[in-house]
Amino acid sequence: MTNDASELKGAASVTDGTRIVVADGSVLTAQQVGTVEMLLDDNIKLCVHGVLYIPGLDKKLLAVAKIIERGVRVSFTGNVCELSKGGETFLTLNKGSHGLFSVKPKRVLYDETATEAIVADGSSTIQLWHARLGHPSFASIGNIQKHSKSVPQAAGSTRDPNELCEGCAQGKMTVTSFPRNPGPNKVKSSTKLHLIHSDVAGPFKTPTLAGRRYVVTFVDATQHALVNTSNITSNIVSNITNNTAVQATNLVNFGVPPGKNAMISFMVTSG
């Protein structure tokens, strides 16, 4: 509830005759309802919906019941009141000498567009907005800044031109397929295990449940069958060692699962 109609955004008239009984027993009538947006410490924006404009109200009040309806958890411990959402406390209030818990914003946002949420982060780095908007080009972010207040203009000033987005770089990486019909000057395979293509992928940022961060694959050029290290058996190792000449340069153990060391040993001893 507020006693200042100029604070309301999207104000609408109250037609149901909502009445409020204040502490001295007098009855006041609400005239308008709207949204109040405030800028708190650490540049946190607080957006309060359903605020009633009541002329003659002595103080601006927040009803705990209405806050809870928005999915916010309100807890009182001694002289401290904490508001949290999603397990994260975003506002802490101290009890004043008058017995009320006061919200003291830096200022009320009259003309700015606040995030339509109970709380929003005030961070404004270009890298953060690049990720929030789905990894568009930085030129596209600049165009958004020209036509919208949602992305702060200050975000563009923090960009390092030499900094690369890891997600974009990984998303544009490609793997060339092994050709089914190689040219006349290339080695062609006619029997199983005559020609095997091997590749190592990694390290992956997130390891497997077994703690592995690399994957070794073997592709038979004749059957185009893919075998990964988790499916290698002693029979496959025996066939490869007996029928294939393997060249390995500076080969290291990339974390192949236990039981596959016979393959690593063979590749190392084969040069």
pLDDT at 246 over 70: no
Arithmetic mean of pLDDT, 74-99: 82
**3-state SS assignment for residue 241:** helix
- Checking if the pLDDT of 110 tops 70, the result is no
| The pLDDT of residue 184 | 64
pLDDT range class, residue 87, cuts 50, 70, 90:
confident
Write down all domains in the chain, each with its CATH number in brackets.
5-108 (2.40.70), 126-169 (no CATH), 196-269 (no CATH)
- State the Cα–Cα distance between residues 103 and 182, nearest whole angstrom: 73
Supply the DSSP symbol for 14: -
| Start-to-end C-alpha separation, the chain | 80
Contact between 194 and 244 under an 8 Å Cβ cutoff? The reply is yes
In SS3 terms, 158-197 reads as HCCCCCCCHHHHHHCCCCCCCCCCCCCCCCCCCCCCCCEE
| Percent of all residues in the chain with a pLDDT value above 70, rounded to a whole number | 64
Q: Provide the 10 A C-beta neighbour count for residue 34.
A: 18
Torsion of CA 184, 187, 192, 197, to 10 degrees: -120
Q: Across the chain, what does the average pLDDT equal? A: 71
Q: Do 243 and 218 form a contact (C-beta atoms < 8 A)?
A: no
Distances in Å between the Cα of 169 and the Cα atoms of 118, 130, 230 are 34, 14, 28
Q: H or E element: which one contains 53? A: strand 45-53
Residue scoring higher pLDDT (15 or 179): 15
**Torsion over CA: 144, 148, 150, 151 (sign):** positive
Q: Would you say 36 and 9 are in contact if contact means Cβ atoms under 8 Å apart?
A: yes
State the average pLDDT over residues 182-198: 72
pLDDT at 121: 45
- How far, in Å, CA of 16 to CA of 14, rounded? 6
Residues of the chain with pLDDT > 90, as a percent, come to 0
252 falls in which pLDDT band (50, 70, 90)?
very low
What is the pLDDT at residue 244? 44
Measured between alpha carbons, how far is 114 from 43 in angstroms, rounded to an integer? 11
According to the model, what pLDDT value does residue 108 have?
62
Using DSSP's 3-state secondary structure scheme, residue 6 falls into: helix
Q: Checking DSSP bridges between strand 107-108 and strand 9-13, what pairing results, if any?
A: unpaired
- Distance separating alpha carbons of residues 22 and 66, to the nearest angstrom: 17
> In whole angstroms, what is the distance from residue 89 CA to residue 79 CA?
16
The answer to whether 125 and 155 are in contact (CB under 8 A) is yes
Question: Largest Cα–Cα distance in the chain?
Answer: 99
Express each pLDDT in 199-242 by its tens digit.
878 788 888 888 888 888 888 777 766 655 544 445 555 555 55
Question: Model confidence over 144-182: pLDDT tens digits?
Answer: 877 776 666 655 555 666 777 888 888 887 777 656 666
The residue with greater pLDDT, 22 or 168, is 168
